[in-house]
Amino acid sequence: MTPARGFLYAAAALLAAVLLAPVASLAVAAADGSGELWPHLAAYVLPQAIRETGLLLAGVGILVIGLGTGTAWLVSAFAFPGRRLLDAALLLPLAVPTYVVAYAYLDLMHPLGPVQSGLRGLLGLSSPRDLSFPDLRSLPGCILLLGFVLYPYVYLPTRALFLMRAGTLLEAARMLGAGPARTFFRVALPLARPAIALGTGLALMEALNDVGAAEFLGVRTLTVQVYATWVNRSDLPGAAQIALVMLAGVVGLVALERLARGGRGYAGSGHRDRPTARRPLSGWRAGLAIGLGLTPVLLGFGLPAGYLAWAVWQRLTGMGLPDTLAAQALNTVLYAGAATLVTVAVGLLVAASPHLLGRRSGLALIRAAGLGYAMPGTVLAVGLLAPLALLDTGLTNLAGAGLGWAPAVGLGTGAALVIAYTLRFLTIPVGATEAGFARIPSTLPDAARMLGRGRFGTLLAVQLPLAWPAVLSGALLAFVDMAKELPVTLLLRPLNVETLSTHLYGEAARGTYEDGAASALLIVMTGLIPVALLLRLNRGAGLRPSRSDA
């Protein structure tokens, strides 16, 4: 083994250890709790948290399956005026983080907010007691808001399957006399089961990771309890024990997703099937289709984004923008930007590891890179406490041995946040870079090797220049996710440092919604970037609808 190859194996082993460290740390921290701690949690905290988390995930799962599958079938199987625009608009809720939607709706639907006040004005009523809506701060309210934001996770893969893989089979069913309903339930829905399971699993992972929306709406999920136990009660062992329960829930979700897929892939072979032939709709049927398709877009994106824009305009014309907005935006860009650079560099090496280390070792490292994304942010943050403390102590001792300085990487520093961001979102640039490498003809790296280039030299001279658009898109997606991330930022940010997400959380906790509207709108505008990338990818997929769809 050459020294370079040995170094790569050592670096890969170190990275795998870093990725697994939070899980091991959770077990150690949980074991440090007193003997009386676990009985208290098991009797008074966990039953309610598990019950509300389970009900939340079940409700969100049902809602995202219905909305995502229904809208995917609508735009795939039918042709009507405005279909192309609706197809793009259905992605827009991806731009709005769940905690931003909860923040906007709490003010929008408040008894003294614009909706209820406007209705009372129209009806000639003066007192809020004369007209009141059900309280949004409830488990059903949280399920509805999360469902209308997260349904695109099911919509995207299911739509892709309908458009690209099931066309011939669906057309055969129609030729045999099956109507739209029978074709959907007997052919399309069974074919879409793997895509629905995949999308639902991702949506439920996002719902489990949420801390802001659930806390704003009064739902005491496991994630909220981890945050409250650590921050409010200063009880790290208790937070670690709850986090381990959450981790078991994550494993259960992954197992359920694979069970729902039944080990099956998508219909069709490795090549594209013909696109689904769409049934034309006109008149009231076309109007009904447009109305049904636009409803989740309006509830998941239109109303909260429109309200935030209106609230920012009111604040701008009245008192102006908050003085701290620029500092919050700068902090967000600095920390997310620094973490993006580190994540992309590490992700590039991980994605290239099958070429550098061999296929088996490389694929194992790629799978390990997905561990951080599978863990909810609160679980990852609690799991990083002990490793970061050990690293900080080790560097301090090393400095005392004669270096004269010690890098600050422990808790309360920006380095801790960058490390957490890197571990959580490493899989995004890894996946994007992998896709870029897969599009490079194998003859090009082989030719470079024949001309005397080593594995690493081939990576730098041939593969990276050809795959840079994919690497760049992965960097952009990772940056956006880091800028929106709330749980990790709340728990590991430096003292007295506010980002857009943490400022918004604080304003919502205080009930001063008007002061956080600008931060929320900036987060939404940032979230539109990946939506634009997805729309561009969809256009590049060769799915050009006919004129009847325009």
Rg of the Cα atoms in the chain: 25
Three-state SS for 78? strand
The token duo for 405 is: 């300085």
Torsion, Cα of 486, 487, 488, 494 (10° steps): 70
Strand runs labelled E in 434-512: none
Provide mean pLDDT across the span 258-281: 59
Query: Among 233, 208, 229, which residue's Cα sits nearest to residue 219?
Result: 208
DSSP designation for 358: -
pLDDT tens-digit map of 353-403 = 887 777 787 788 888 888 888 888 888 888 888 888 787 777 777 666 655
**pLDDT tens digit sequence for 18-50:** 778 888 888 887 777 555 667 777 787 889 999
Q: Taking a C-beta distance cutoff of 8 angstroms, is the pair 442, 354 a contact?
A: no
Over 60: is that where the pLDDT of 546 sits?
no
pLDDT score recorded for residue 180: 66
Q: What is the DSSP letter of 497?
A: -
Are 303 and 108 in contact by the 8 Å Cβ rule? The answer is yes
Give yes or no for a contact between 105 and 143, defined as CB atoms under 8 angstroms apart.
no
171-186 burial, b at 16+ Cβ within 10 Å, e below that, comes to bebbeeebeeeebbee
CATH number of 27-271: 1.10.3720.10
Which of the residue ranges 32-36, 151-155, 178-182, 320-324 would you say has the lowest mean pLDDT?
Answer: 32-36
Q: What is the pLDDT of residue 333?
A: 92
Q: Which sign, positive or negative, has the C-alpha torsion 281, 286, 288, 289?
A: positive
Token output for 88: 């793009």
- Smallest CA-to-CA distance from 97 within 250, 300, 299, 324 is with 300
Strands 78-79 and 279-280: parallel
CA distance 47 to 39: 12
Q: Are 387 and 25 in contact (CB under 8 A)?
A: yes
Q: Residue 44, Cα to own-chain centre: how many angstroms?
A: 31
- How far is 379 from 209, CA to CA, in rounded Å? 9
Assess contact for 380 and 372: CB atoms under 8 A: yes
Pick from 134, 166, 65, 147: nearest CA to 102:
147
Residue 127, phi then psi, degrees to nearest 5? -100, 140
Residue 370 has a pLDDT of 81
CA distance 78 to 210: 35
Q: Which residue has the tokens 């004129």?
A: 547
| C-beta separation of 210 from 98 below 8 A | yes
Three-state SS for 500?
Answer: helix
Least confident piece of the model among 253-262, 331-340, 366-375: 253-262
Of 181-195, 208-222, 336-350, 393-407, the least confident: 393-407
The three-point CA angle 79-157-529 to 5° equals: 90
DSSP string, 8-64: HHHHHHHHHHHHHHHHHHHHHHHHTS-TTHHHHIIIIIHHHHHHHHHHHHHHHHHHH
Q: How does DSSP assign 320-335, residue by residue?
A: -S-TTHHHHHHHHHHH
Q: What is the pLDDT of residue 425?
A: 92
Cα gap 235→453, rounded to integer Å: 55
| DSSP percent split of the chain into helix, strand, coil, nearest 5 | 80, 0, 20
Q: What is the per-residue pLDDT across 272-308, written as a single tens digit (0 to 9) for each?
A: 445 556 788 888 999 999 999 999 999 999 999 999 9
Handedness of CA 465, 430, 200, 220 (dihedral sign): negative
DSSP state of 113: S
Please give the residue that has the higher pLDDT: either 396 or 117.
117
Identity of the residue numbered 38? W
DSSP state of 138: S
Cα–Cα dist 497/151, whole Å = 33
Q: Which two tokens stand for residue 222?
A: 């496991």
Beta bridge partners of 279: 78
What single-letter amino acid sits at 160?
A: A
What does the angle CA 460 – CA 461 – CA 463 come to, to the nearest 5 degrees?
A: 70
Domain coordinates of the chain in residue numbers? 27-271
Overall pTM surpassing 0.95 (yes/no): no
pLDDT given at position 85: 92
Distance CA 52, CA 67 (A): 22
| Range in 166-175, 227-236, 426-435 with the lowest mean pLDDT | 166-175
Give the span between the Cα atoms of 77 and 167, in whole angstroms.
10
Mean pLDDT of 243-252: 84
Q: pLDDT-derived band of residue 336, with 50, 70 and 90 as boundaries?
A: very high
Task: Say if residue 539's pLDDT is above 80.
Answer: no
Residue of 450, 434, 416, 458 whose CA lies nearest to 365 = 434
- Bigger pLDDT: 495 or 171? 495
CA angle 339, 198, 74 (to 5 degrees): 110
Helix (H) or strand (E) holding 86: helix 83-89
What residues does 313 pair with on adjacent strands? none
Backbone angles phi, psi at 125, to 5 degrees: -100, 145
